[in-house]
Amino acid sequence: MKLEQGLIQVYTGNGKGKTTASLGLAFRAVGRELKVCMIQFMKGGGPYGEQMAAEKLAPYLTIIQTGRPGWVNKENPAQEDKDLAAEALKLAKGKLQSGEYDLVILDEVNGAVSMGLLPVEDLLELMAGKPAQVELVLTGRNAHEKVIEAADLVTEMREVKHYYKAGVKSRTGIEM
């Protein structure tokens, strides 16, 4: 089965659930035997639970982690972080154009753009070159207004209450 029409979706906002929403879409696609590739920007640590699940759902779901372990300095990102983000975007373009995948998810790419790791023009170029039958999902906080304008669907997750503020740390199997 191939998609009749692939669109561009953006999941953004300061609330929890952007990656999780994209994984829900991936899970639905895998159930229909569509092939999914998720490239995770700035997630060089891990392993995360979704990567372990992807191994069990291969060859339908592939997750590729990029970036280095640890946090990116938002005020002054290291050149290494910029180089790794550029490599990840090049990899993403290759996967998008390969004809192998029906759904391509660029997890945290919006954050990479907002932190100055990637020029928004490079992401817009990738979006404009998307094959017609491939769905593209872009996640991460602070989606650029030009990305929002170019997308077909935009969902903003808004934090109302978060247990992290009450001191609950990331939990294995829930946040990672």
- 0.85 surpassed by pTM: yes
> Would 92 be classed as within a structural domain?
yes
| Average predicted confidence (pLDDT) for the chain | 94
- Inform me whether the pLDDT recorded for 107 exceeds 80: yes
Q: What's the structural domain count of the chain? A: 1
pLDDT at 30 over 90: yes
Q: What is the mean pLDDT of residues 66-91?
A: 94
Q: 21 pLDDT exceeds 90?
A: yes
pLDDT in tens, 111-132: 999 999 999 999 999 999 999 9
CATH of the domain at 28: 3.40.50.300
Q: What is the rounded average pLDDT of the residues 146-158?
A: 98
The C-alpha angle 20, 24, 27, rounded to 5 degrees, equals 135
Residue-level pLDDT at 59: 96
The fraction of the chain above a pLDDT of 90, given in percent, is 80
3 within some domain: no
* pLDDT for res 26: 98
Tell me the C-alpha to C-alpha distance, in Å, between residue 44 and each of 47, 60, 72, 79, 139: 9, 22, 11, 15, 16
**Residue 25, domain member (yes or no):** yes
Residue 171 lies in a domain: no
pLDDT at 169 over 90: no
**pLDDT at residue 46, as a whole number:** 74
Structural contact between residues 42 and 172, judged by C-beta atoms closer than 8 angstroms: no
Domain with 99, as residue range(s), is 8-158
Confidence at residue 48, expressed as pLDDT on a 0 to 100 scale: 83
Residue-level pLDDT at 112: 98
Tokens of 3: 């998609």
| DSSP of 12-40 | ESSSS-HHHHHHHHHHHHHHTT--EEEEE
Residue 168 to residues 10, 49, 165, Cα–Cα distance (Å): 28, 18, 7
Q: Is residue 170 part of a domain?
A: no
Residue with tokens 């490079």: 122
- Does a structural domain hold residue 91? yes
Whether residue 111 contacts residue 141, with contact meaning beta carbons closer than 8 Å, is answered with yes
Q: For residue 43, what pLDDT band results from cuts at 50, 70 and 90?
A: confident
